Amino acid sequence: MRRQLLLLHHSHISLRGCTADCKQSFKEQLGVTTLEKSKFYVKPKLPYNYKDLEPYVSKEQLRIHHEKHHQGYVNGANAILEKLERARKDGDDLDIKSTLKALSFNIGGHILHSLFWPNLAPSGKGGGEPHGVLGNAIAKEFGSFEGFKKEFSQAAASVEGSGWAALSFCRQTNRPIIMQIEKHNTNIYPTFRILIVLDVWEHAYYLDYKNARGRFVDAFWKIVNWDEANKRLEKLLG
């Protein structure tokens, strides 16, 4: 009986039906290379320099966002993982509800920022319209790229308080679907892969645009990295 339960448990956690590529991209999305050495989160380096998004995002704005805010979520998530480990070892009871809520918030913050940096491109190298399989999927779902751009911009502009707009992809229906994420972890569709994400927390734009979130959203369209988004979709579709 015990052996059966163990086997059942084991099969439940394996990534059944997942190809080698799929497993690899799961790892990449989580920012890990091997399961053994990835006990804690690590903030990834930017794929460009702090000044490279100017004039759309200033060097100082990008530096504080990446160095301070993203690091804060990494540190927050790791501290909670350590707290959980310590409590389990010492046999202490934690307030599990509030601990898991804070863990979800911090991990969400880390994962979303890790997706955000590479889906931006240095000035002059980004923007324009999506091409390839993503361009087709967007045109089919939203009628046109302009239709998608309008809907995504509205999602970004109207997030209550702090949050994100994200373009995700549903494999069950093969539709691109826009998520309007509140904070870092509310309104998310579980397991939908994110192709493009836009941070509209005030910390993402306040130095450059003050309270004019709409102007920051307009700037985003000049530096969005469609090559990266298309690669994410191609990897998902296998």
Answer for the pair 152, 176: CB distance below 8 angstroms, yes or no: no
Of 87 and 162, nearer to Mn ion (C-beta) is 162
Question: In what helix (H) or strand (E) does residue 164 lie, and over which residues does it extend?
Answer: strand 163-170
For the CB of residue 203, give the shortest distance to Mn ion in the complex, in Å. Answer: 5
Name the nearest CA neighbour of 196 among 216, 221, 172.
221
Give the C-alpha separation, 71 to 66, whole Å. Answer: 7
For the CB of residue 196, give the shortest distance to Mn ion in the complex, in Å. Answer: 15
Per CB under 5 A, the segment of 41-49, 129-137, 174-182, 194-202 that binds Mn ion is 194-202
Of 69 and 149, nearer to Mn ion (C-beta) is 69
Q: Compute and round to an integer the Cα radius of gyration of the chain.
A: 19
Which tokens hold the place of 23?
């497993």
Please tell me whether residue 167 adopts helix, strand or coil conformation: strand
Residue pointed to by tokens 């904070």: 183
Name the nearest CA neighbour of 46 among 70, 79, 75.
70
The binding track of 202-231 with respect to Mn ion, each residue x by CB under 5 A or -, is --x---------------------------
Of 74 and 137, nearer to Mn ion (C-beta) is 74
For the CB of residue 184, give the shortest distance to Mn ion in the complex, in Å. Answer: 9
Q: How many helices, marked H, and strands, marked E, lie in the chain?
A: 10, 3
Per CB under 5 A, the segment of 51-59, 72-80, 89-97, 191-199 that binds Mn ion is 191-199
For the CB of residue 82, give the shortest distance to Mn ion in the complex, in Å. Answer: 23
The binding track of 58-87 with respect to Mn ion, each residue x by CB under 5 A or -, is -----------x------------------
For the CB of residue 109, give the shortest distance to Mn ion in the complex, in Å. Answer: 7
Of 142 and 152, nearer to Mn ion (C-beta) is 152
Angle at 165 between CA 161 and CA 168, to 5 degrees: 145
Give the C-alpha separation, 99 to 102, whole Å. Answer: 5
In 10 A of CB 235, how many CB atoms?
A: 15
Answer for the pair 119, 228: CB distance below 8 angstroms, yes or no: yes
Q: Which residue is nearest to Mn ion (CB)?
A: 199
For the CB of residue 166, give the shortest distance to Mn ion in the complex, in Å. Answer: 13
Name the nearest CA neighbour of 48 among 64, 66, 28.
66
For the CB of residue 102, give the shortest distance to Mn ion in the complex, in Å. Answer: 17
Of 59 and 140, nearer to Mn ion (C-beta) is 59
Size of the site for Mn ion (CB under 5 A): 4
Q: Does 199 bind Mn ion (CB under 5 A)?
A: yes
Residues making contact with Mn ion (CB under 5 A): 69, 199, 201, 204
